[in-house]
Amino acid sequence: MSTALAGGAVLAAGTAQAEPAPTPDAVKEQVDRLNEEAEQSIERHNGFQEKRQRLQGEANRIQDEVVRGQEAMNELRTRLGAVAAEQYRTGGIDPSVRLMLDSDPGGYLAKASAQNQVLDSQAALLAQARSEQRRLDQDRAEAAATLAELDAAGTALAAEKKAIQGKLAAAQALLNRLSAADRAKVNAQDAAGRASRATARPAYDGPATGRAAAAVRFAYAQLGKPYVWGATGPAGFDCSGLTGAAWRAADVKLPRISQDQWKTGLRVARGDLQPGDLVFFYPDLHHVGLYIGEGKMIHAPRTGKNVEVLPIDVMPYVGAVRL
Protein backbone atom coordinates (compact mmCIF):
# COMPACT_ATOMS: atom_id res chain seq x y z
CA MET A 1 0.00 0.00 0.00
CA SER A 2 2.83 2.33 0.87
CA THR A 3 4.42 1.58 -2.51
CA ALA A 4 1.17 2.35 -4.26
CA LEU A 5 0.83 5.60 -2.34
CA ALA A 6 4.37 6.54 -3.18
CA GLY A 7 3.76 5.77 -6.82
CA GLY A 8 0.62 7.85 -6.76
CA ALA A 9 2.50 10.72 -5.17
CA VAL A 10 5.19 10.55 -7.83
CA LEU A 11 2.54 10.44 -10.53
CA ALA A 12 0.76 13.42 -9.01
CA ALA A 13 3.99 15.36 -8.71
CA GLY A 14 4.85 14.57 -12.30
CA THR A 15 1.41 15.66 -13.44
CA ALA A 16 1.70 18.88 -11.44
CA GLN A 17 5.12 19.68 -12.92
CA ALA A 18 4.20 19.00 -16.53
CA GLU A 19 3.95 22.21 -18.55
CA PRO A 20 1.14 22.53 -21.04
CA ALA A 21 2.24 22.66 -24.66
CA PRO A 22 2.31 26.27 -25.87
CA THR A 23 -0.24 27.27 -28.47
CA PRO A 24 0.98 28.75 -31.76
CA ASP A 25 -0.90 32.00 -31.03
CA ALA A 26 0.72 32.37 -27.60
CA VAL A 27 4.16 31.65 -29.02
CA LYS A 28 3.59 34.08 -31.91
CA GLU A 29 2.65 36.84 -29.49
CA GLN A 30 5.80 36.30 -27.43
CA VAL A 31 8.04 35.89 -30.49
CA ASP A 32 6.67 39.08 -32.05
CA ARG A 33 7.34 40.96 -28.82
CA LEU A 34 10.88 39.61 -28.57
CA ASN A 35 11.60 40.41 -32.20
CA GLU A 36 10.29 43.94 -31.81
CA GLU A 37 12.52 44.42 -28.76
CA ALA A 38 15.42 42.95 -30.73
CA GLU A 39 14.82 45.40 -33.57
CA GLN A 40 14.89 48.29 -31.11
CA SER A 41 18.24 47.00 -29.86
CA ILE A 42 19.44 46.52 -33.43
CA GLU A 43 18.88 50.19 -34.27
CA ARG A 44 20.68 51.18 -31.07
CA HIS A 45 23.48 48.77 -32.01
CA ASN A 46 23.72 50.36 -35.45
CA GLY A 47 23.90 53.79 -33.85
CA PHE A 48 26.70 52.74 -31.48
CA GLN A 49 28.55 51.14 -34.38
CA GLU A 50 28.31 54.32 -36.45
CA LYS A 51 29.42 56.40 -33.46
CA ARG A 52 32.39 54.12 -32.83
CA GLN A 53 33.50 54.38 -36.45
CA ARG A 54 33.23 58.18 -36.31
CA LEU A 55 35.13 58.37 -33.04
CA GLN A 56 37.83 56.08 -34.39
CA GLY A 57 38.34 58.44 -37.32
CA GLU A 58 38.48 61.44 -34.98
CA ALA A 59 40.93 59.67 -32.66
CA ASN A 60 43.21 58.82 -35.58
CA ARG A 61 43.13 62.43 -36.80
CA ILE A 62 43.86 63.89 -33.36
CA GLN A 63 46.66 61.42 -32.69
CA ASP A 64 48.25 62.37 -36.03
CA GLU A 65 48.07 66.02 -34.92
CA VAL A 66 49.72 65.09 -31.61
CA VAL A 67 52.58 63.39 -33.46
CA ARG A 68 53.05 66.43 -35.73
CA GLY A 69 52.87 68.77 -32.73
CA GLN A 70 55.50 66.77 -30.85
CA GLU A 71 57.80 66.86 -33.88
CA ALA A 72 57.35 70.65 -34.07
CA MET A 73 58.14 70.97 -30.35
CA ASN A 74 61.27 68.86 -30.74
CA GLU A 75 62.47 71.12 -33.56
CA LEU A 76 61.76 74.27 -31.51
CA ARG A 77 63.65 72.86 -28.53
CA THR A 78 66.64 72.14 -30.75
CA ARG A 79 66.63 75.70 -32.07
CA LEU A 80 66.22 77.15 -28.57
CA GLY A 81 69.10 74.99 -27.35
CA ALA A 82 71.37 76.40 -30.06
CA VAL A 83 70.42 79.96 -29.10
CA ALA A 84 71.01 79.25 -25.41
CA ALA A 85 74.42 77.73 -26.13
CA GLU A 86 75.43 80.78 -28.15
CA GLN A 87 74.34 83.04 -25.31
CA TYR A 88 76.35 81.01 -22.83
CA ARG A 89 79.49 81.37 -24.94
CA THR A 90 79.12 85.15 -25.36
CA GLY A 91 77.33 86.20 -22.18
CA GLY A 92 78.23 86.43 -18.51
CA ILE A 93 79.36 90.14 -18.27
CA ASP A 94 77.02 93.08 -17.98
CA PRO A 95 76.79 94.82 -21.41
CA SER A 96 77.70 98.28 -19.98
CA VAL A 97 80.83 96.89 -18.30
CA ARG A 98 81.85 95.09 -21.48
CA LEU A 99 81.43 98.34 -23.43
CA MET A 100 83.77 100.18 -21.02
CA LEU A 101 86.41 97.46 -21.12
CA ASP A 102 86.28 96.76 -24.80
CA SER A 103 89.23 98.23 -26.75
CA ASP A 104 87.02 98.66 -29.80
CA PRO A 105 83.72 100.19 -28.63
CA GLY A 106 82.47 100.48 -32.20
CA GLY A 107 83.08 96.82 -32.82
CA TYR A 108 81.42 95.93 -29.52
CA LEU A 109 78.30 97.96 -30.37
CA ALA A 110 78.05 96.14 -33.68
CA LYS A 111 78.28 92.83 -31.81
CA ALA A 112 75.70 94.01 -29.25
CA SER A 113 73.30 94.83 -32.03
CA ALA A 114 73.73 91.33 -33.38
CA GLN A 115 73.27 89.98 -29.84
CA ASN A 116 69.97 91.89 -29.51
CA GLN A 117 68.80 90.31 -32.74
CA VAL A 118 69.63 86.93 -31.28
CA LEU A 119 67.66 87.82 -28.14
CA ASP A 120 64.70 88.93 -30.25
CA SER A 121 64.90 85.65 -32.17
CA GLN A 122 65.00 83.74 -28.90
CA ALA A 123 61.93 85.61 -27.61
CA ALA A 124 60.06 84.78 -30.81
CA LEU A 125 61.08 81.12 -30.52
CA LEU A 126 59.97 81.02 -26.88
CA ALA A 127 56.58 82.51 -27.79
CA GLN A 128 56.20 80.00 -30.61
CA ALA A 129 57.22 77.16 -28.29
CA ARG A 130 54.66 78.19 -25.65
CA SER A 131 51.92 78.39 -28.28
CA GLU A 132 52.90 75.00 -29.73
CA GLN A 133 52.98 73.44 -26.25
CA ARG A 134 49.48 74.75 -25.48
CA ARG A 135 48.21 73.33 -28.75
CA LEU A 136 49.94 70.02 -28.06
CA ASP A 137 48.43 69.83 -24.56
CA GLN A 138 44.96 70.56 -25.96
CA ASP A 139 45.36 67.88 -28.64
CA ARG A 140 46.49 65.36 -26.05
CA ALA A 141 43.53 66.15 -23.80
CA GLU A 142 41.14 65.90 -26.76
CA ALA A 143 42.71 62.59 -27.80
CA ALA A 144 42.32 61.20 -24.27
CA ALA A 145 38.66 62.27 -24.12
CA THR A 146 37.93 60.86 -27.58
CA LEU A 147 39.60 57.54 -26.76
CA ALA A 148 37.58 57.33 -23.53
CA GLU A 149 34.38 58.00 -25.49
CA LEU A 150 35.46 55.44 -28.08
CA ASP A 151 35.96 52.86 -25.33
CA ALA A 152 32.49 53.64 -23.91
CA ALA A 153 30.92 53.28 -27.37
CA GLY A 154 32.64 49.92 -27.80
CA THR A 155 31.29 48.74 -24.43
CA ALA A 156 27.76 49.89 -25.34
CA LEU A 157 28.04 48.21 -28.74
CA ALA A 158 29.02 44.90 -27.13
CA ALA A 159 26.17 45.18 -24.62
CA GLU A 160 23.59 45.83 -27.36
CA LYS A 161 24.93 42.92 -29.39
CA LYS A 162 24.57 40.63 -26.37
CA ALA A 163 21.03 41.90 -25.78
CA ILE A 164 20.08 41.25 -29.43
CA GLN A 165 21.51 37.75 -29.35
CA GLY A 166 19.69 37.04 -26.09
CA LYS A 167 16.30 38.17 -27.44
CA LEU A 168 16.72 36.26 -30.71
CA ALA A 169 17.81 33.13 -28.84
CA ALA A 170 14.77 33.42 -26.55
CA ALA A 171 12.48 33.76 -29.57
CA GLN A 172 14.06 30.72 -31.23
CA ALA A 173 13.73 28.70 -28.02
CA LEU A 174 10.00 29.46 -27.99
CA LEU A 175 9.66 28.43 -31.63
CA ASN A 176 11.58 25.22 -30.98
CA ARG A 177 8.88 24.11 -28.55
CA LEU A 178 6.37 23.99 -31.40
CA SER A 179 5.91 21.34 -34.01
CA ALA A 180 7.41 22.01 -37.42
CA ALA A 181 3.98 22.76 -38.86
CA ASP A 182 3.06 25.20 -36.09
CA ARG A 183 6.50 26.79 -36.31
CA ALA A 184 5.95 27.45 -40.03
CA LYS A 185 2.60 29.06 -39.25
CA VAL A 186 4.15 31.34 -36.65
CA ASN A 187 6.95 32.37 -38.98
CA ALA A 188 4.47 32.66 -41.87
CA GLN A 189 7.43 31.85 -44.05
CA ASP A 190 7.84 28.19 -44.96
CA ALA A 191 10.47 26.92 -47.39
CA ALA A 192 8.21 27.23 -50.42
CA GLY A 193 7.35 30.81 -49.50
CA ARG A 194 11.00 31.71 -49.10
CA ALA A 195 11.85 30.20 -52.49
CA SER A 196 9.04 32.01 -54.29
CA ARG A 197 9.87 35.36 -52.73
CA ALA A 198 13.55 34.89 -53.46
CA THR A 199 12.92 34.39 -57.16
CA ALA A 200 9.92 36.66 -57.73
CA ARG A 201 11.42 40.14 -58.01
CA PRO A 202 9.20 42.23 -60.27
CA ALA A 203 10.63 45.40 -61.75
CA TYR A 204 9.08 48.68 -60.73
CA ASP A 205 7.04 50.42 -63.40
CA GLY A 206 5.04 52.82 -61.26
CA PRO A 207 4.59 56.59 -61.35
CA ALA A 208 7.75 57.63 -59.49
CA THR A 209 10.44 59.46 -61.45
CA GLY A 210 14.00 60.59 -60.94
CA ARG A 211 15.78 59.65 -57.74
CA ALA A 212 12.64 58.27 -56.08
CA ALA A 213 12.17 55.83 -58.97
CA ALA A 214 15.80 54.72 -58.67
CA ALA A 215 15.35 54.07 -54.93
CA VAL A 216 12.13 52.09 -55.45
CA ARG A 217 13.62 50.05 -58.32
CA PHE A 218 16.52 49.11 -56.07
CA ALA A 219 14.15 48.07 -53.27
CA TYR A 220 12.15 45.88 -55.66
CA ALA A 221 15.36 44.14 -56.70
CA GLN A 222 15.99 43.15 -53.05
CA LEU A 223 12.68 41.32 -52.56
CA GLY A 224 13.29 37.87 -51.09
CA LYS A 225 16.69 38.68 -49.61
CA PRO A 226 17.00 37.80 -45.92
CA TYR A 227 16.75 40.18 -43.00
CA VAL A 228 20.21 40.30 -41.41
CA TRP A 229 20.61 42.57 -38.42
CA GLY A 230 23.32 45.16 -38.82
CA ALA A 231 23.48 44.53 -42.60
CA THR A 232 23.34 47.14 -45.35
CA GLY A 233 23.54 44.69 -48.29
CA PRO A 234 24.08 43.36 -50.77
CA ALA A 235 23.24 39.84 -49.46
CA GLY A 236 20.91 40.95 -46.67
CA PHE A 237 19.52 44.01 -44.89
CA ASP A 238 17.99 45.26 -41.70
CA CYS A 239 15.23 47.85 -41.98
CA SER A 240 17.31 51.05 -42.06
CA GLY A 241 20.04 49.22 -43.96
CA LEU A 242 17.56 48.59 -46.80
CA THR A 243 16.21 52.15 -46.98
CA GLY A 244 19.74 53.55 -46.80
CA ALA A 245 20.92 51.24 -49.61
CA ALA A 246 17.87 52.07 -51.75
CA TRP A 247 18.50 55.80 -51.59
CA ARG A 248 22.23 55.30 -51.96
CA ALA A 249 21.40 53.73 -55.33
CA ALA A 250 19.79 57.09 -56.13
CA ASP A 251 22.97 58.96 -55.09
CA VAL A 252 21.47 60.12 -51.79
CA LYS A 253 23.30 59.30 -48.56
CA LEU A 254 21.10 58.67 -45.53
CA PRO A 255 22.09 58.33 -41.88
CA ARG A 256 22.52 54.75 -40.71
CA ILE A 257 19.68 54.40 -38.21
CA SER A 258 15.93 54.88 -38.61
CA GLN A 259 15.64 57.61 -35.95
CA ASP A 260 18.23 59.70 -37.79
CA GLN A 261 16.63 59.00 -41.17
CA TRP A 262 13.44 60.48 -39.72
CA LYS A 263 15.29 63.79 -39.32
CA THR A 264 16.13 64.08 -43.03
CA GLY A 265 14.00 65.57 -45.80
CA LEU A 266 10.48 66.95 -45.46
CA ARG A 267 7.61 65.51 -43.41
CA VAL A 268 4.75 64.23 -45.53
CA ALA A 269 1.10 63.78 -44.55
CA ARG A 270 -0.20 60.25 -44.90
CA GLY A 271 -2.68 61.30 -47.54
CA ASP A 272 0.14 62.79 -49.66
CA LEU A 273 2.45 59.75 -49.69
CA GLN A 274 4.34 59.08 -52.91
CA PRO A 275 6.59 56.17 -53.98
CA GLY A 276 10.06 56.61 -52.55
CA ASP A 277 8.94 58.24 -49.30
CA LEU A 278 10.36 56.79 -46.10
CA VAL A 279 7.61 55.49 -43.80
CA PHE A 280 8.22 55.09 -40.06
CA PHE A 281 6.62 52.96 -37.38
CA TYR A 282 6.35 52.66 -33.58
CA PRO A 283 6.62 55.62 -31.19
CA ASP A 284 10.42 55.34 -30.96
CA LEU A 285 10.73 55.14 -34.79
CA HIS A 286 12.72 51.90 -34.65
CA HIS A 287 11.31 50.60 -37.94
CA VAL A 288 11.37 52.15 -41.41
CA GLY A 289 10.29 51.08 -44.88
CA LEU A 290 10.12 52.47 -48.42
CA TYR A 291 6.68 53.46 -49.67
CA ILE A 292 5.82 52.07 -53.13
CA GLY A 293 2.23 53.25 -53.59
CA GLU A 294 -1.30 51.93 -52.99
CA GLY A 295 -0.80 51.86 -49.24
CA LYS A 296 2.14 49.46 -49.43
CA MET A 297 5.83 49.49 -48.67
CA ILE A 298 8.93 47.36 -49.18
CA HIS A 299 10.73 46.69 -45.92
CA ALA A 300 13.12 44.31 -44.18
CA PRO A 301 10.88 42.92 -41.41
CA ARG A 302 12.86 40.97 -38.79
CA THR A 303 15.18 38.04 -38.20
CA GLY A 304 13.84 34.90 -39.87
CA LYS A 305 12.00 36.77 -42.60
CA ASN A 306 12.88 38.23 -45.99
CA VAL A 307 12.52 41.63 -47.63
CA GLU A 308 8.84 41.84 -48.57
CA VAL A 309 5.94 44.01 -49.67
CA LEU A 310 3.51 44.79 -46.88
CA PRO A 311 0.65 47.24 -46.25
CA ILE A 312 1.72 50.11 -44.04
CA ASP A 313 -1.32 49.46 -41.81
CA VAL A 314 0.15 46.29 -40.28
CA MET A 315 2.35 48.26 -37.85
CA PRO A 316 1.83 51.38 -35.74
CA TYR A 317 2.36 54.11 -38.35
CA VAL A 318 4.02 57.33 -37.14
CA GLY A 319 4.81 59.38 -40.25
CA ALA A 320 6.77 59.80 -43.44
CA VAL A 321 9.67 61.76 -44.88
CA ARG A 322 10.30 62.80 -48.49
CA LEU A 323 13.88 63.23 -49.69
Q: Tens digit of pLDDT per residue, the chain (323 long)?
A: 444 444 444 444 444 555 667 788 888 888 888 888 888 888 988 888 888 888 899 889 988 888 888 888 788 777 767 766 666 666 554 454 444 445 555 555 555 555 555 556 667 766 777 777 888 888 888 888 888 888 888 888 888 888 888 888 888 888 888 888 887 777 664 443 444 444 445 667 677 778 999 999 999 999 999 999 899 999 999 999 999 999 999 999 999 999 999 999 999 999 999 999 999 999 999 999 999 999 999 999 988 889 999 999 999 999 999 99
| Residue 78, pLDDT score | 78
DSSP per residue, 180-222: HHHHHHHHT--HHHHHHHHH--PPP-SS--HHHHHHHHHHHHT
Sheet strands (E) in the chain:
266-268, 278-281, 287-293, 296-299, 308-311, 317-322
DSSP 228-255: -TT-BSSS-B-HHHHHHHHHHTTT----
- Say what the pLDDT of residue 93 is: 46
At residue 80, the pLDDT reads 67
Q: Give the residues across from 255 on adjacent strands.
A: none
Is residue 234 reached through a cis peptide bond, with omega within 30 degrees of 0 on the bond before it? Answer: yes
Q: What angle do CA 187, 303, 202 make, to 5 degrees?
A: 80
In tens, the pLDDT along 236-274 reads 999 999 999 999 999 999 999 999 999 999 999 999 999
Residue 205: the pLDDT is 67
Rounded distance, CA 229 to CA 273, Å? 27
Q: Which active-site residues does the annotation give? A: 239, 287, 299
How many angstroms separate the CA atoms of 129 and 160, rounded? 46
